[in-house]
Amino acid sequence: MNKESFGKDFKWGVSTAAFQIEGSHDTDGKGLSIWDVFTAQKSKIKGTQDARKACDFYNLYKTDINLIRSLNIPNFRFSISWPRLMPNGIGEVNQRGIDYYNRVIDFLLECGIEPWVTLYHWDLPYALELKGGWTNRDIVSWFEDYTELCARSFGDRVSNWMVMNEPSVFTGAGYFLGVHAPGKSGLTNYLKAVHHTTLVTAAAGRVLRNIVPHANIGTTFSCTHIEPASLRYRDQMAAHRVDALLNRTFIEPLIGMGYPQSDVPVLRKLDRYRSGNDDRDMVFDFDFIGLQCYTREIVKASVFTPYIHAALVKAERRNVDCTDMKWEVFPPSIYHILKKFGTYEKIRKIIITENGAAFPDKVVQGKVMDEQRTKYIQDHLLQVLKAKNEGVKVDGYFVWSLTDNFEWAEGYHPRFGLIYVDYDTQERIVKQSGLWLRDFLSEV
C-alpha cells in the first residue's frame, strides 16, 4: 500500500474540534458554551478536568499549522465555536471571534493547507441552552443565522464545509443519557433533539448552498459495525435494532428515506414533533458525507434496556485488543461500514472524516514510539483501500487527531494525537505515527 494506490484526488487530512483544542474559553468576547458550563460542574469529567486551556490552539495555531505542513498533510478539519462568533447564540456578532478564524484560515492557505470547516462540533452557546437548546424547534432558525454568518465571513476562502459532527453521539450522550453536555436525559429530550438536529442539518446545507454555491458541502456521522453476540434470533434482531438506531437514524431522513421507524419502533414517537413540510425539509443533497468509525460493537438481546431491548457486550469482557477508550481494535469494521453506506444510491461521495486511536503514550528520551497507533492507522487504511477497490466511492481519510486533546467526559487521559502534548508546558512532540504519516504522504 502506498499513497498512490488511493488515487491522486484522494483527500488526506487530519481532524480537530474547537472545544477540544482551542482553550481561551473567555477570551476576546467569547460567550459560554454548554461544555464550558458542563465541565465546571463537579464529577461530570474524569479527574474534574476542563478545557479552559486545552492545547492553547487559540494562541498556538501557527505552531500547530506549521506542524501540519511539516507532516505533509494537505487538509485540515477544524470546527468553529458558535459562542466565539455569537456570544449569545443569536443577535450580537463578536468581530474578534471572526477575526480569529480569519487568521487561522489565512494562515492555513498561506501554508498551502486546505481548510475543512465543521459548523457544529458540540459546543452550543449556553445562552441557547437556557432556551431549551436542541429541544427547542427555534434552533432551526438560530442555526440558519449562524450558518449564514459563517458562510458570509469565510465562504470566500473556505470551500469544504461540514454541518454536523456525529449527531447520534451528541443527542444520545447529551440529551438521553446525560453524560455529555448539556447533561439532559430522557426520551422526550432525546427525540426532540434528534428531530431538530435533522431539520437543522438539511436547513444549514441549503443556507451554505445559497451563499457559497460552489462549496463542497457535507455532514458527518459516527458509525460502528454491529454484530450479534450469537446466531440466536433474538440477538440478531437486537443487533439489527442497534444498527438502525446508531447507523441509520440520521442519514436516512436526509436522503429522503425517513427515520428507520419500523426497525426502531420507539422512533415512531418522533412523529409528535413533526409538522408541516418536515418530510420535505429534512432532505438535502449533500456533496459528501463524512463517516467516523473507530470500532465494532457486539450486541445481545436484553430485557433490561428500555426502548431498544438490546445491550452491548463490552470489549473488555471479550478478551480482545482494546484502545485506551476500551474500544475493540477491529479494522474490518471500517470496511463493512463503507460497504454499508456505499449501498445508499443518494450518497454521492464518502470521506472518512475521523479514524484513529487512543493509547497510553509515553515520552522516552524525547520520543514517542506509538507502534500501536501506527499499526492501527495502517490496518484501517488497508480496509479503506479494499472498499475503494471494490467500488465504494470513498474519497478521503482524515486522522483523529492532530494533537492529543480534551476527550470530552474522559478528560485528557486518552491521547489520540499524531502529536504528543505536554499540557504543563504546551510542548509538542511528533509521535512515530506522525512521522510515519509524513513519510507515507511524501511518497511520489
Question: What is the binding site for ligand NOJ (CB under 6 A)?
Answer: 17, 20, 165-166, 292, 354, 400, 407, 416
Nearer to ligand NOJ, 166 or 243 (CB): 166
Chain-centre distance of CA 236, in angstroms? 28
Catalytic residue among 129, 252, 297, 354: 354
Q: Taking a C-beta distance cutoff of 8 angstroms, is the pair 385, 379 a contact? A: no
Catalytic residue among 129, 166, 252, 328: 166
Annotation: binding site for substrate: 20, 121, 165, 294, 400, 407-408
Nearer to ligand NOJ, 234 or 413 (CB): 413
DSSP SS3 for 245: helix
Closest to 325 (Cα-Cα) out of 418, 414, 420: 414
Q: Which amino acid is at 134?
A: W
Beta bridge partners of 397: 12, 352
166 is catalytic: yes
Q: What is the sign of the dihedral through the CA atoms of 140, 141, 142 and 148?
A: positive
427 is catalytic: no
Q: Taking a C-beta distance cutoff of 8 angstroms, is the pair 184, 132 a contact? A: no
The full length of the chain comes to: 444
CA distance readout (Å), 339 to 155, 291, 352, 387: 33, 12, 13, 7
Annotation: binding site: 20, 121, 165, 294, 400, 407-408
Distance from C-alpha of 169 to C-alpha of 177, rounded to nearest angstrom: 10
End-to-end CA distance of the chain: 13
Active-site residues, by number, are 166, 354
